[in-house]
Structure 1
Amino acid sequence: MVNQQTDDNVLAVGDTLGAEEVAVYRWLALHGQLDLVRMAEETGVDETAVSSAVDYLVRIGLVQRGKEGDDRLWVVDPHLVAAVATAPVERAIAEQQTQLRVFRDQFAQLASDYKEGRHGVSTDLETIPGLTQVRAALNRAAEQCREDMVTVQPGGTRPPEVLQDALLRDSQMLARGVRMRTVYHHTARFNSPSQAYVATVSALGGEYRTAHQLVDRVIIFDREVAFMTNRNDRLGAVVVREPSVVHFLYELFEQVWSQAQPFSDAATDGLEAVAKDLDRTILRLLAAGLKDETIARRLGMSLRTTRKHIADMMQALGAESRFQAGVAVSARGLLNDDGEPDAAPTTAPA
């Protein structure tokens, strides 16, 4: 029993009735008089608890006593008591709804002014500053999405709180019949929160694949609007609505999707096999002359982890420089004519 009385000793919304109070109220409703011994016997509540329950029910207004010397008790309609208890809350809600309507009306006028000011200005490209605004725009686009959402999600890890927010949004879209496909970096297979998220949403109908190399983040809704990372503001986004550009980005996603692999737990695939596959990709990127920072970004790995892989591979090749590593790769025939690695020096998974 939570006893949070108001000044008038009326039941408040936060108060609850315990099993003892409920049993005593029912007995009084049927008999209408105070008989502690009989009440205790028939309700299974001891006399002390019965007396306390009666006092509490009287105090909150569910029971009324007779005049002095009258041991009769009258129960009060609980709907009336509830109406009194909820009245302050309903008034507060009504006030907040009024404030909300005023707020929305003001911003509706601002939106009208915004549209008027942008009349004749192309809306094919829009810049959204700040993470909070980007999330709001993504949520709005997700609510309006009807058929299809595709995402390229680089990086090996995503914070659990971000995945929790995405879970609600994605589950709502899937429930509406929206097809949802996402490509992660292979390194996401090592991230437990990502594994749990993918397993949950896959069961709802989401589709997930992974690839070693990915372009920057892009999200496309209904082949009509695309969100891209703002190069000058990594927390912001660029929204593209120009049909030809959105079509190009969508076709680019389809190519990445067709070459990606179904999302799977790295441990299930075998850590050694995954490590060898990763080393082959790093070897190809090294052969292309890419810098450590570029390789790390392409593979969705931290720069520190990428450099450790490169150092381990150079040690396995017996090379002290990238030039020597290139000579060793060529001498061992580790790259075929297409620049693809036939094999790679084995390193331990990081």
Structure 2
Amino acid sequence: MNEQRTSPGSPPIDEDDILVYGWIVDGGSGRPEQAAAELGLPRGRAESALKRLGALGLVRPVRDSPGEVVVVDPDAVAPTLTAPLRAAIRHHEEQLDLVHGKINRLRDHFFAGRASNRDFTVEVIPTLEEVRAALNRASAECQEEVVSSQPGGSGRVPEAMEEALGRDHALLSRNVRMRTLYHHTARFNGPSQAYVAAATALGAEYRTSHELFGRVIIYDKSLAFLPDRTDSWGAVAVREPTIVGYFHDIFEQYWIRATPFSDAAQDGLERVAKEIHQTIVDLLAAGLKDESIARRLGMSLRTARRHIADIMETLGADSRFQAGVLAAQAQLTGRPPVGSGAES
């Protein structure tokens, strides 16, 4: 049996009530046995619906006709029915204002403490929650441009992309220019393709490159966020102008050489695959290890090793070092082979 919901957080009118109300409008008498028969409801539910309609003031008895009811204009009783909800909303809004007021006071203390810190130009942000808060604040304060390099962009989870898209939408709606670099491998990733398509429609710009210099986000050429090297999901915020400017210059160099983002199918799967294959050959010839190649190309170690195995088989090499030497000898790369200790 449907029960009446009268709590402030939910509507007090059930579906049975609406069904019986409509039946009365169409000429129903208001007798529960008749409502049950004509509407196909159990008598108990029909009787409960009629009682609720009466209690809510949505029907009233017909004078001199016992058991008969007529409907009442819903707009006439709406203020009474919604009053508890509106009161609850006002209460929660007042509580929300109080909490925001206290957070503002805490924020004043927080920034006052940072302003007095001589090392404020380089700040370690230890937790993911604090990083998100700092990024949201930087985005809200950004006036001109945000640029970012996102190695391994294809690995970003949809939830994180949804949060970032909301942040980006707010930036772009203020005519802030936004440019982002991804690895070429992001063009094979469905969530990355969807994210880029949505943000590009808002005015963002995306390019991809085989290799990136690292992860960084720069706001207005004055604030840079770098990943914490401890792999703790923390970050380092840098405000020192020379360092921030240096990272921005590196970004511009990579941006100029990068390719406008397009998904791999549109760009030609075979051509994209060949480009990635060629880059791995170059990195093998340069003496990089599997982990370094995977990191440089923004792909998983397993995927990188599969590519490397295919290259070694094609070249007839028994080792990675021999593959690099053979590739150089066959002029498959412009980089000369180096010793096995080139990079750890």
Alignment TM-score > 0.5, same fold: yes
Q: Does 1:5 align with 2:4?
A: yes
The equivalent residue for 1:183 is 181
**Alpha-carbon shift at residue 183 of structure 1 (Å):** 0.9
Residue of 131, 135, 148 corresponding to 2:132: 135
- Please report how far the alpha carbon of residue 57 of structure 1 lies from its aligned counterpart in structure 2 after TM superposition: 3.4
8 A Cα contact 1:185 1:210, kept in partner: yes
Please say if 1:275 is aligned against 2:273.
yes
Aligned length: 326
Q: Distance in 1 between matches of 2:250 and 2:111?
A: 32
Evaluate the alpha carbon distance shift between residue 299 and residue 316 of structure 1 in structure 2; reply closer, same or farther with a 3 A threshold: same
Q: How does 1:1-350 map to 2 (within 5 A)?
A: 5-6=4-5, 13=11, 15=13, 48-49=38-39, 57-67=53-63, 69=65, 76=72, 78-79=74-75, 81-122=77-118, 123-155=120-152, 156-336=154-334, 339=335
Q: Paired residue for 2:341?
A: none
CA distance, structure 2, for counterparts of residue 88 and residue 16 of structure 1: 17
**TM-score, length of structure 2 as denominator length:** 0.80
Q: Distance in 2 between matches of 1:19 and 1:109?
A: 49
Name the aligned partner's letter for residue 188 of structure 2. Answer: F
| CA 11–322 in structure 1, closer or farther in 2 if over 3 Å, else same | closer
Mapped contact 1:11–1:61 kept (Cα < 8 A)? no
Q: Is the 8 A contact 1:25 1:57 kept in 2?
A: no
Q: 1:324 to 1:91 in 2, by over 3 A?
A: same
Distance 1:54 1:11 in 2: 23
Q: Calculate the aligned-residue CA RMSD, in Å.
A: 3.5
TM-score by length of 1: 0.79
Tell me the CA shift for residue 22 of structure 1: 6.5
Structure 1 residues 7 and 243, CA gap change in structure 2 (3 angstroms): closer
Question: How far apart are the structure 1 equivalents of 2:51 and 2:110?
Answer: 62
- Alpha-carbon distance between aligned partners in 2 of 1:21 and 1:146, rounded to the nearest angstrom: 58
* CA shift digits 1:51-90 (9 cap, x unpaired): 9686653242122225554788676564553233223323
Give the secondary-structure state (helix, strand or coil) at the position aligned to 1:235. Answer: coil
Amino acid at match of 1:147: E
How far 1:21 moved relative to its partner?
A: 5.9
Pair 1:290–1:65, CA change in 2 (3 A): same
**Please, which moves more after superposition, 216-225 or 109-118?**
109-118
CA distance in 1, matches of 2:187, 2:174: 28
Which residue identity does 2:151 align to in structure 1? P
Q: Is the 8 A contact 2:158 2:191 kept in 1?
A: yes
How many Å apart are 1:260 and its aligned residue? 0.5
C-alpha separation between the residues in 2 aligned to 1:257 and 1:237? 23
Match for 1:136: what amino acid?
Answer: A
Q: Which runs of 5+ in 2 are unaligned?
A: 338-344
Task: Look up the equivalent residue of 1:290 and give its one-letter code.
Answer: L
Whichever residue aligns with residue 134 of structure 1, its letter is: V
Deviation for aligned residue 1:197: 1.6
Classify 1:200/1:112 alpha carbon distance in 2 versus 1 (closer, same or farther; 3 Å): closer
Which sections of structure 1, spanning at least 5 residues, go unmatched?
29-33, 37-44, 342-350
User: What do the CA deviations read for 1:9-30 (whole angstroms, capped 9, x no partner)?
Assistant: x9963536787567568789xx
Equivalent pair of 1:287/1:326 in contact (CA under 8 Å): yes
Q: Please identify, of 198-207 and 62-71, the stretch whose mean Cα deviation from structure 2 is larger.
A: 62-71
64-73 vs 115-124, which deviates more? Answer: 64-73
Name whichever of 148-157 and 163-172 sits farther off.
163-172
Alignment check: 8 A CA contact 1:187 1:299 kept: yes
Give the Cα separation in 1 of the matches to 2:38 and 2:89.
40
Aligned residues of 1:226 and 1:239 also touching (Cα < 8 A): yes
Structure 1 residue 303: deviation in Å? 1.0
CA contact (8 A) 2:221 2:245 kept: yes
The share of aligned pairs that are identical, in percent, is 48
